[in-house]
């Protein structure tokens, strides 16, 4: 069912682009970093370690399709690394000082994401602040558990591939909201952008027990867009 919805969204996008003047449509790319983290069920409390953020790359290609003077439709095809980390450690007394010994276990998932965003320019001129908001659907194409130990030094990472299809969910449906600033640069525009993504899909599926772990992320990107046909 989710695949049918995804194909339908892409078909609608193609129809909309074909009905819009290419002289008005902009195509662009962006790239940056995504700080991924996850919600933790309240009822687990101190039974489980605290969740920490992980930092990974993100990038996208997109269209900017004007709907009015200040509002446009901005569909994207993006790559996002999502995930969460658990850090545990103890202090060992060695001579006259404490030696911290610990380990970090990070779940990192590589997602192809399709945000369907509304973009609203707040002002006119060469420099334009803008808002973006809309839904997003993503699919995990790969995932791994990365483990590092640390004491006087940090060990090399040890990776284990994740097998999806059991308890871990590949799909994630969420919402995106953000703020950006674009600047005229020749025929195109440079921009810097920050966004927050909230996932609505439970990432861990366990029979009987509802484990409310959902993806979240804060991303910062730089990008450039230019009109199609130039």
Measuring CA to CA, which residue among 54, 69, 57, 56 is closest to residue 24? 69
| Structure confidence at residue 95 (pLDDT) | 57
Ordered domains of the chain (ranges, CATH): 2-80+111-140+165-227 (2.40.160.20)
Residue 154 DSSP one-character state: B
Q: What is the pLDDT of residue 10?
A: 52
Local confidence pLDDT in tens for the 230 residues of the chain: 555 545 555 555 555 544 444 448 999 999 999 999 887 665 555 556 778 899 999 999 999 999 998 999 999 999 999 988 887 655 555 555 665 566 788 889 999 999 999 999 999 889 999 999 999 999 999 999 888 776 655 667 788 888 887 778 899 999 999 999 999 998 899 999 999 999 999 887 655 455 678 899 999 999 999 998 75
Q: In Å, how far are 78, 104, 144, 162, 177 from 159, measured between CA atoms?
A: 24, 12, 6, 9, 32
Measured distance CA(196)–CA(200) in Å, rounded: 13
- At residue 167, the pLDDT reads 77
- Report how far apart, in Å, the C-alpha atoms of 78 and of each of 31, 72, 95, 142, 144 are: 9, 18, 52, 15, 19
| pLDDT at res. 217 | 96
pLDDT of residue 192: 98
- What does the angle CA 87 – CA 156 – CA 166 come to, to the nearest 5 degrees? 60
Q: What is the pTM of this model?
A: 0.80
Query: In sequence order, what are the beta bridge partners of 200?
Result: none
**CA-CA distance, 86 to 49, in Å (whole number)?**
7
pLDDT of 169: 86
């Amino acid at each position: 069912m989710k695949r049918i919805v995804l194909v339908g969204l892409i078909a609608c996008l193609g129809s909309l682009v074909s009905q819009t003047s290419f002289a008005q449509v902009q195509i662009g790319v962006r790239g940056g970093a995504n700080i991924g983290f996850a919600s933790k069920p309240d009822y687990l409390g101190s039974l489980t370690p605290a969740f920490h953020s992980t930092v990974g790359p993100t990038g996208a290609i997109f269209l900017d399709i004007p709907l009015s003077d200040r509002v446009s439709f901005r569909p994207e095809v993006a790559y996002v690394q999502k995930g969460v980390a658990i850090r545990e450690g103890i202090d060992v007394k060695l001579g006259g000082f404490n030696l911290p010994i610990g380990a970090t276990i990070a779940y990192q998932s590589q997602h192809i994401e399709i945000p369907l965003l509304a973009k609203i320019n707040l002002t006119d001129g060469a420099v334009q602040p803008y808002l973006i908001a809309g839904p997003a659907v993503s699919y995990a194409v790969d995932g791994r558990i990365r483990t590092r130990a640390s004491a006087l030094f940090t060990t090399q990472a040890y990776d284990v591939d994740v097998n999806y299809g059991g308890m871990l969910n590949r799909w994630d449906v969420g919402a995106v909201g953000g703020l950006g600033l674009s600047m005229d640069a020749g025929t195109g525009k440079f921009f810097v952008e920050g966004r927050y993504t909230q996932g609505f899909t439970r990432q861990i599926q366990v029979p009987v027990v509802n484990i409310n772990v959902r993806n979240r992320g804060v991303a910062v990107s730089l990008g450039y867009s230019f009109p199609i046909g130039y």
